[in-house]
Amino acid sequence: MLEKILFLLTVFLTNIIQCITGFAGTVLAMPFSVMLVGYDVAKPALNILGLLASVYVVITCFRHINKKELLKMTGIMLVGMAAGIYLKRFFTGNPSLLYKTLGVIVIVFAVMNAVKFYMHKDDKVLPSPVSVILLVLAGVVHGMFVCGGPLLVTYASGKIRDKDEFRGTLSAVWILLNGILFATDIYEGYFTPETIRITAISVVTLAAALVIGSLISKKMSRKVFLQLTYVLMLISGVSLLIK
């Protein structure tokens, strides 16, 4: 029971950040959620919550969406996501390897983005080959862990400067990709009665987080919350390595 309460708290706090930044909700929630309720529950539940959170952001930022970048991001990431869905099968029956792999990925993301941020290079446009590789890798990680956000942000931060355009475009990407993952999770039998119950309860928590996140996003800068996000990512990644 305590684990489920902590899971709901995790959903609440991370989706406040998701609403503000347009990413990071799932990548922050996944490490703690995997430890609290297990991968088979955490992945499908957080995928649906991420999908719903993205729908909310897109509704509020629809006219700001960069359609050209949206098509490019989703098109390339779909290739990587197909590979990620296939690769996750190798973790079946080995949760320790799963946790440590996710921990390493999250730590790398946190350090990489924090270094770019503090060196004031987070808005630097990357060469085209590097951009393509980043988007493919973002798709792979998203297919495995629903955590492709940090790599996508590394790409998008140099392409999209406006805050609302950034949030709206990234959220539109998650709607398309998480919708595909949702169908895949149903096909693979992830939605057990227990998973459905936890997800349904989490939606109420998510609604409260989105309302609060929207209010905060109007008061505080994206810079402050990106700094907070990188710190939390690092902590969550380390916690998985020592689990």
- Give the three-state DSSP class for 150: helix
More confident residue, 49 or 97: 49
**To the nearest whole number, what is the mean pLDDT of the chain?**
83
The CA distance from 63 to 47, in Å, is 25
**Tens digits of per-residue pLDDT, 158-183?**
788 777 888 889 889 989 999 999 99
- pLDDT surpasses 90 at 53: no
Q: Are 105 and 138 in contact (CB under 8 A)?
A: no
pLDDT tier for residue 109 given thresholds of 50, 70 and 90: confident
- pLDDT surpasses 90 at 240: no
In the DSSP assignment, the letter for residue 155 is H
Share of the chain above pLDDT 70, in %: 89
**Tens digits of per-residue pLDDT, 190-236?**
899 989 999 999 999 999 988 888 887 777 666 776 676 677 777 76
